[in-house]
Structure 1
């Protein structure tokens, strides 16, 4: 077992059946440029309405020239946390950690401890997928009703930072439509898993957040 300690978290409140996201670009200088840097977190109902999808994007602002050399850090655990009882403490987790060109997913499972420290759930349901190389067709692995992906993707988040600066400076009253996408042409490293709702438990609203934790 490996111990992991919290580096950074991005939180989200998700309601089953709806698409919600949290974004955090260029706001974590201590980990910027590494796969500890969480840029976006998405949680949404899958095309199969019996499923939920959890997606974390990492290491943003990758240029096309640098994306092929970008890699997940084998000392960094990505952990999706799920609170289905409304107490803001994780009842279930899904973990993802890379090894030798593959991403290993564990869960969902009940963690042995909550909060800042985590142990890899080696006895939990395991789904393994080859990390998709840049520029190649997405490799998706399935394990029963669970599907998983890991690899570089075009950054899907839209933000006009120049106009945002004008608004903050008092020079503009709002955003343009459609505006200019600051992240156009840049890439991220994505970790995505789709699981049956039945494995999440609870009904109605769930709280979910993602953390990047480093091995100690």
Structure 2
């Protein structure tokens, strides 16, 4: 689970340079290498300053050869959680689930239940879908209800000199090189992106936001 806090500003008081990031590569033994493994979570203001963008990346360390056959797990639900009153409980969720070459989105809307278990909100009026983009093809963008959607492989954006990190942890080095070697260069992830008007999640104020992947039971 990834969690961060961001400030939603009005369109006039836009936070144009704000980016919130949480990352977690190759150190979750229960899901590492699996289709439900979350590698990164990003939340930032869109090019349209009235919108927020949420990005969940899964299935890290995909080589170009592996990316061509990679797909989203149809038994996994990706859920963006939004806490609008600072009680660390989700007040709104945006859900994404794959089916037959498409990614379906539901929300933002109040969840039917909070916590670790979720029910797909297929009956909500706020929903959309997009064809999943194939590797090496032009990005397919979907839109509905003022939102935009993307799902498909992308280059892993996270920069980390993992070998140097190991040397620092092991006590054989004391600092990172500048710029160092990008361990994740050339690898890909499967990305789910949704851009949402701020008015759909409160408009102004501070929110907590995190993402979870949940497998069908």
Asked if these proteins are the same fold (TM beyond 0.5), I'd say yes
Q: Counterpart in 1 of 2:56?
A: 56
Is 1:168–2:169 an aligned residue pair?
yes
Counterpart in the other structure of 1:5: none
**1:84–1:201 Cα contact (<8 Å) kept:** yes
Contact 2:62 2:188 in 1 (8 A): yes
Matched residue, 1:153: 154
Within 5 Å, which residues of 2 pair with 1:97-112?
A: 97-112=97-112
Residues 115-168 of structure 1 show CA distances to partners (whole Å, capped at 9, x for unaligned) of: 011111112211100000000000000113200000000000000111111211
- What is the alpha-carbon distance in structure 2 between the residues aligned to residue 140 and residue 78 of structure 1? 18
Deviation at 1:176, TM superposition (A): 1.4
Q: In 1, Cα distance between the equivalents of 2:78 and 2:194?
A: 12
Aligned-partner SS, 1:66? helix
SS in 1 for 2:118: strand
Q: Counterparts of 1:113 and 1:168 in 2: how far apart (Å)? A: 41
Note the C-alpha offset of 1:202. Answer: 5.9
Give the structure 2 partner of residue 118 of structure 1: 118
Match of 2:2 in 1: 10
Residue number in structure 2 paired with 1:75: 75
TM-score by length of 2: 0.93
TM-score by length of 1: 0.93
Helix, strand or coil: the match of 1:117? coil
Distance across 1 between alignment mates of 2:209 and 2:35:
20
Which whole-Å CA distance do the structure 2 matches of 1:177 and 1:111 have between them?
45
Q: Distance in 2 between matches of 1:27 and 1:202?
A: 36
2: CA distance, partners of 1:86 / 1:213: 23
CA distance in 2, matches of 1:22, 1:62: 19
Whole-angstrom distance in 2 between the partners of 1:153 and 1:22:
17
> 1:177, 1:14 → 2: CA distance?
29
Structure 2 runs not aligned, ≥5 long: 9-14
Given that 1:84 and 1:202 are in contact with CA atoms closer than 8 Å, whether structure 2 keeps it comes out as no
Is residue 194 of structure 1 aligned with residue 195 of structure 2? Answer: yes
Root-mean-square deviation (CA), in Å? 1.1
Q: Please say if residues 198 and 204 of structure 2, whose CA atoms lie closer than 8 Å, have aligned partners that are also in contact.
A: no
Task: Report the equivalent of 1:40.
Answer: 40
SS of the residue corresponding to residue 193 of structure 2 reads strand
State the partner residue of 1:204.
205
Which consecutive unaligned segments of at least 5 residues does structure 1 have? 1-8
